[in-house]
Amino acid sequence: MILLQGNQIARLFGAEVLFENIQFEIHSHARVGLVGRNGVGKSTLLKIIAGLEAPDQGVITKTKSLTMGYLAQNTGIASHATVWDEMLDAFQEVRQMESRMREVEQLISTTDLETPAGQRLLKEYDHLQHLFAESSGYSYENEIRSVLHGFKFDAQFYDQTVDSLSGGQQTRLALAKMLLQQPDLLILDEPTNHLDIETLDWLEKYLQNYKGALLIVSHDRYFLDEVVKEIYEISRSKMTHYKGNYSRFLVLKEEQLALDWKAYEKQQSEIHKLEDFVARNLVRASTTKRAQSRRKQLEKINRLDRPNGDEKSANILFDIDTPSGNVVLQVQDAAIGYEKEQILANNIQLDIRKKDAIALVGPNGIGKSTLLKSILK
């Protein structure tokens, strides 16, 4: 079933076209990745789909009962509530249902169930129990604990206020709450920001089993490979659809480019032959009619655009006052932290040589950024 579709969507800035003629469909249980270079309009399109902005042209249509959740880049929760209470807020309807069930239970205990009023209470209670079970009412607190644990919020965080958390923690908490709300269509813009490897692995598995549809913008190709099953690419103001994950998209895109070049070169060869024939024969009386016929053929040709490959990548150059020798950096028996009582890591050994390429990895809060700042000092 189609949950949402866009028809001829465009975003314009005066005479400048960010994107136009955008067509797409999102089906129930879809796993969609939206990719493209920075600045092509991915985040803008997500806002249009989420209903936060209106398109300059075109229309978005969706099913009447569709629920959507949208999480922008680096969006955190601003709240004075505790972490636990903030997560409970994702289950407002279920908790209201639970409260009404308790009320009905009290009424049942003091009402003659043989009377019409008693029968109505029993019928209402039966209906509430059914809805409560369907809404995971008996397990929502366990679901909260599971999701919070996945995002590295153990029980010690439950009573902390949200506004006491770091910016990165607030962003992770916003994503956790969005997952708990379980919208029919979950729209995520760069959800892997602020996630360490362990949390990223957990999120991949969670999204693979998500009941609703997913629309994700991410520059993490490995994350997209694990989660999405189709790709929309925005490039040069247009959008193209590919079936498969990110790796499959790269293959299909290369294959399509080869086919486009083949068709373009074939047509160009035909055009050159016709143009050459017209140029050589139009002035000759004996061949004028044939030349005019070829010229009409040329006019009727629907000329293919020259295929475009990947857009150019930016070249970044760093000015170096004095080139280093072979030994770039050495660290011996170092410790990092904020105070002597708050040592994040110790016995750090580094030996970095010229042209080394090194990745610094580890869980959030382990001291990666602190180590880099310490090195710069």
Q: Is residue 320 part of a domain?
A: no
**DSSP symbols for 237-277:** TEEEEEES-HHHHHHHHHHHHHHHHHHHHHHHHHHHHHHHH
In the predicted structure, residue 273 carries a pLDDT above the cut 80: yes
Co-location of 284 and 209 in the same domain: no
- Give the residue numbers spanning the domain of 88: 79-164
Amino acid 313: pLDDT: 60
Co-location of 84 and 160 in the same domain: yes
Amino acid 25: pLDDT: 96
Amino acid 336: pLDDT: 86
Q: Long-range contact list for 85-91, CB < 8 A, 24+ apart?
A: 86/162, 86/173, 86/177, 87/144, 87/147, 87/148, 87/176, 87/177, 87/180, 88/144, 89/177, 90/144, 90/177, 90/180, 90/181, 91/140, 91/144, 91/180
Co-location of 189 and 240 in the same domain: yes
| Residue pair 343/367 in contact by the 8 Å Cβ criterion | no
Q: Is residue 51 part of a domain?
A: yes
In the predicted structure, residue 198 carries a pLDDT above the cut 70: yes
Q: Is residue 158 part of a domain?
A: yes
Q: How far is the C-alpha of 211 from the C-alpha of 204, rounded, in Å?
A: 14
In the predicted structure, residue 248 carries a pLDDT above the cut 70: yes
CA angle 319, 321, 325 (to 5 degrees): 105
Co-location of 47 and 100 in the same domain: no
Co-location of 20 and 52 in the same domain: yes
pLDDT digits (tens, 9 = 90+) for 318-342: 777 777 788 888 999 888 887 666 7
Amino acid 312: pLDDT: 62
Res. 270 pLDDT band, cuts 50 70 90: very high
Tell me the sheet residues that pair with 187.
Answer: 70, 215
pLDDT digits (tens, 9 = 90+) for 284-308: 767 788 888 888 989 999 999 888 8
pLDDT digits (tens, 9 = 90+) for 47-56: 999 999 999 9
Amino acid 340: pLDDT: 63
Average pLDDT, the chain: 90
Amino acid 59: pLDDT: 96
Q: What is the mean pLDDT of residues 218-235?
A: 96
Number of folded domains in the chain?
Answer: 4
Q: Which residues neighbour 307 within 8 Å (Cβ) at sequence distance 6 or greater?
A: 257, 260, 261, 264
In the predicted structure, residue 8 carries a pLDDT above the cut 90: yes
CATH of residue 227's domain is 3.40.50.300
pLDDT digits (tens, 9 = 90+) for 16-29: 999 999 999 999 99
Q: What is the mean pLDDT of residues 167-180?
A: 93
Co-location of 52 and 3 in the same domain: yes
Co-location of 95 and 46 in the same domain: no
Q: Is residue 12 part of a domain?
A: yes
In the predicted structure, residue 211 carries a pLDDT above the cut 70: yes
Amino acid 134: pLDDT: 83
Co-location of 279 and 236 in the same domain: no
Co-location of 155 and 103 in the same domain: yes
Q: Is residue 240 part of a domain?
A: yes
Q: DSSP secondary-structure letter at 20?
A: E
